Chains A and B, each alone.
Chain A
C-alpha cells in the first residue's frame, strides 16, 4: 500500500501525484519507471518517475487520463492508497556531458522528460527543450523545464501559445541554428516517429523512451516487445530508452492498439459506473 500525499491538476486531463514509496525514492534514477496497480482487481500500468524526494520518501508521477485505469487514478484523492507500486524499473538514462542536447517532449511525454533534462543540465550540457501540445491549456511543466534548460521553445498545434506548429518544426529551428550533439524525444509514438525522422536527416544521435503496453515489467511476459534494428527487444528490461533511428515505430503503434476495442468498451462501462 502506498499513500497518495499530494495531488495537483496541471490541466483537465493531466495530474501530478506525490506518492509515498521510500525504497523507490532512494534507488530511482532518471529514466526509471514504476508499475502500479490501483486495487485488487486493477490492471498493472507503467508510469515514469518524474522526480523524487529521498528525505520525504516520496516519488512524483504525472499522469494523463487516457482510459479506465488512468481515469480511476485521477479520481483518487490525497490520503487514499494505491494497492501496489513496484520499481524503479527499466534502465536509467545514460547521462554524460556531450555538449548540446535537444530535448523534445509531446503530451504527457513531457513528464518523463523532466528528470532527463535535469540530469543532462547537471552533467554540464547545454540543454534546449522543445515542449509541444495541442493547445495552450495542455502545456505542462513549462516552469520546471525552464529551471533546468538553457532555452525552452513551446509549440502548440493551434498557435494559442508559443509558436504555431508541430514539435518537429521547433526541433528543426534549433538544429539549423546550432550544432546539436544528442537529441532525446519522448511523447506519443507517432510524435517520436516523426521526431526521429527529423533528426535522422541531420545524423543526430537520438534517444526515444518507449511507452509500450506492459504487464509485469520484469522481463517475464514479452507484452512490451518492440523491434529495434530488426531484433525483438523488451522495453521493460532492455529499455525504455532505445536508439530512435532503429525503432520500428509502425509496429509499436500497431501493438499499442492491441486492445482498442476492449479498452473502449471498458471505458464505456466505467463511465456508466461513475455517472
Chain B
C-alpha cells in the first residue's frame, strides 16, 4: 500500500501536473457546476434501442476535468475496485491529451468504455470524491469522463494495443468470455502466454452481450475490445462448453498448463410460487437473451418473443430495471416494476431508476407476487399481489420486508419477467470433483492469487462472488492472471 501512495505522489509531482494545478484556483474549480450527461429524449428513447446516454462533448469534458482538484490524497481512488489513477487521467483530459487519458485508464482497467457506462460510480469512486465527502457537493463526474476518454480513443481509430512480452508458448485456457475472462485473457496475453478463451455461447462477452441491453451498452463497444484482444493474439473458441465438449482433463492433455474459470452466475432463480411456469412468464435472463443475443425484436431474425400490453417485472436490481425498460421498448402500454422492499433498498443503480421513471415505468414497491393465473391456453393473465411493510434489518443490513395480513389483491398482466437473482453456474463445479465450493455454490479461492483448491485452476468474477459487478469481475480476472503468472513461472523454473 505504501508503494502505491508513493507512486501516486511521484506522479502528482510531475511538472505538467504542477503546472495544471497552478493554472486555476481551487475556489474557481469548486465553483464550477457539474455538467449533465446529454440524454436522448425520454419519450423518444422509450421506443428505440439506441443508447440513452449520448456521451460528453469535448467542451463538456474539458469543463468537468477542471473541477477535479488533483487532491494530494485522492480519496476517489480508494473507492475504485481496480485503483484507477483517477486524478492523472482527469488531468490528462484537462491537458487535452485525450489519448493519454485512455492510456492511463488502461493501465488498470481492461474495458474503460464498458466501465464508464455500467459501473455504479455513485457508490464507488464518486462516493469517495473530495467534493462528496468534504464539500458536500456533487462529485466530479468521474464515470462520464472515463467514458469520454475511452470513446475518444475508440473513435480516433488510434487504439493502443498494449505491449506484449516475448511469447513463451505456454498454453493457458480461459473459461467464459464475460468481463472476468476478458480481463484475465488480456493480462495473460501481455505476459506472453498462448491464450485460448472457451465460450459456451455463440457470441463473446458474457452478460455484457446477452444481458445488458444495447441502449445502455452498445455491442459495438464490446466488439472493439474483443478485436484488441485478438490483435494481442488471444484465440476465441465459441460453442465450446468446458466440462461437456471437453473436460478440463482433456484440455490438460492437449497441453493447457493452467485455467482461469470465469463462468459467471448464470442460473436464474424463480420464486417457486403457484403458476410460475405459465406461458408468458420469463426469467430475466431468458427475456433479455432472446432480445439482446438472439435479436428477437427484429423481424429478420427467427427467434420468437412474446409481447405484453401490461408487463410486470419482479425485482429491484439492475437486471429488473433492464428488463422493465426493455419491456417498454417492446411496446408495453404499462411496464410495472414490482419490488418487495422500498425504493431506498433497491440495489439498482440510481441512474437506472431515474431513467426508468423518466420513461414512464410504474413502480410498485412494497409489493410481492403470491400466485399467477392463466387463460385456457395457459398464458398468464392475472397475478395475486401482497402488500409488504418494512420490519427489522436482516443479514444484509436492509430492513426485512414482511407481509401485511389481508392485503392481497389481483392485477391483470399478460407478461411477467422474474428478475430476483441468479445462482452460480454449476456446469464447471459439477465437472470437477475435488474442487472446493462454498455452500452457495461459488468456487472457493485464495483472495490474493485467486487460486482454487486445484493448483492449476484459478477463478474469479460472479462464479466466485455470486452476483457482483463488471468491475469486480474484471479486477478478479487481472488478479488471477497475476496469480497464474507467478504459479507458472515457478512451475517452469522447477522443470
Which residues does A use to contact B, with CB under 8 Å?
23-24, 26-27, 37, 41-44, 68-69, 83-89, 215-216, 218-223, 225-227, 232, 237, 251, 254-255, 257-259, 262-263, 266
Contacts and interface: CB of A to CB of B under 8 A. Distances in A.
A232 B245 contact: no
A37 B200 CA distance: 13
Interface string B276-306: 1111101101100110001100001111111
Contacts of A26: 246
A132 to B, nearest CB: 26
28 contacts: A23-B240, A23-B245, A27-B245, A27-B247, A37-B202, A41-B300, A42-B302, A44-B303, A84-B202, A86-B200, A88-B244, A215-B303, A216-B200, A218-B241, A218-B425, A219-B266, A219-B267, A220-B268, A222-B282, A222-B283, A222-B285, A222-B286, A225-B270, A227-B277, A237-B426, A237-B427, A259-B304, A266-B302
Contact of A88 (B245, B277, B302): B245
Contacts of B300: 41
Contacts of B455: none
B482 interface: no
Contacts of A237: 426-427
Q: Counting chain B CB atoms within 10 Å of each CB, which of A41, A89, A222, A266 scores highest?
A: A222
B246 A27 contact: yes
B302 A215 contact: no
A44 B302 CA distance: 9
B425 A221 contact: no
Contact of A251 (B272, B277, B289, B304): B277
A266 B285 CA distance: 24
A261 to B, nearest CB: 9
A237 B430 CA distance: 11
B245 A87 contact: yes
B240 A263 contact: no
A87 to B, nearest CB: 7
B239 A43 contact: no
A232 B276 contact: yes
B238 interface: yes
B302 A89 contact: no
B378 A254 contact: yes
B14 interface: no
A226 B300 CA distance: 30
Nearest to B268: A222
Nearest to B302: A43
A254 B279 contact: yes
Query: What is the interface of chain B mostly: helix, strand, loop, or mixed?
Result: loop
Interface in B299-342: 300-306
Contacts of A87: 241, 244-245
Given A215-B294, A218-B241, A237-B427, A257 B377 contact: yes
B267 A220 contact: yes
A255 B378 contact: yes
A232 B244 contact: no
Contacts of B201: 86, 216, 218
Given A41-B301, A44-B294, A266-B302, A221 B244 contact: no
A243 to B, nearest CB: 18
Contacts of B286: 215, 221-223
A232 B272 contact: yes
* CB-CB nearest 3 A-B residue pairs: A254-B378, A221-B286, A86-B239
B464 to A, nearest CB: 18
Contact of A89 (B241, B246, B279): B241
A69 B266 CA distance: 26
A242 to B, nearest CB: 15
Nearest to B296: A43
Given A84-B238, A232-B276, A254-B378, A218 B245 contact: no
Nearest to B272: A232
A197 to B, nearest CB: 21
A215 B276 contact: no
Contacts of A42: 301-302
A220 B303 contact: no
A225 B277 contact: yes
Contacts of A259: 304, 306
Interface in B94-136: none
A226 B278 CA distance: 10
Contacts of B280: 258
Contacts of A255: 277, 279, 378
B245 A220 contact: no
Contacts of A85: 239
A26 B278 CA distance: 38
Contacts of B250: 27
B381 to A, nearest CB: 13
Interface string B237-264: 0111100111100100000000000000
A84 B279 contact: no
Contacts of A89: 241, 244
A220 B425 contact: yes
A266 B306 CA distance: 14
A83 B240 CA distance: 14
A271 B246 CA distance: 39
Given A215-B289, A219-B266, 18 more contacts: A23-B246, A27-B244, A44-B294, A84-B238, A86-B200, A89-B241, A218-B427, A219-B425, A220-B210, A221-B285, A222-B270, A223-B286, A251-B378, A254-B378, A257-B377, A258-B306, A262-B306, A266-B304
Which residue among B241, B278, B300 has the maximum number of chain A CB atoms within 10 Å of its CB?
Answer: B241
Nearest to B278: A254
* Residue of B272, B285, B290, B302 with highest tally of chain A CB at under 10 A: B302
A89 B241 CA distance: 9
Contacts of B302: 41-43, 68-69, 266
Contacts of B240: 23, 86
A251 B276 CA distance: 11
A257 B280 CA distance: 11
The residue in B279, B303, B305, B377 that gathers the most chain A C-beta atoms within 10 A of its C-beta is: B303
Nearest to A42: B302
Query: Which of A23, A86, A220 has the most B CB atoms < 10 Å from its CB?
Result: A220
A69 to B, nearest CB: 6
A108 to B, nearest CB: 20
Given A69-B302, A262-B304, A24 B245 contact: yes
A220 B244 CA distance: 15
A225 B282 CA distance: 10
Nearest to A2: B239
Contacts of A258: 279-280, 306
A44 B306 CA distance: 17
Nearest to B276: A232
A74 B266 CA distance: 33
Nearest to B290: A215
A52 B276 CA distance: 38
Contacts of A222: 268, 270, 282-283, 285-286
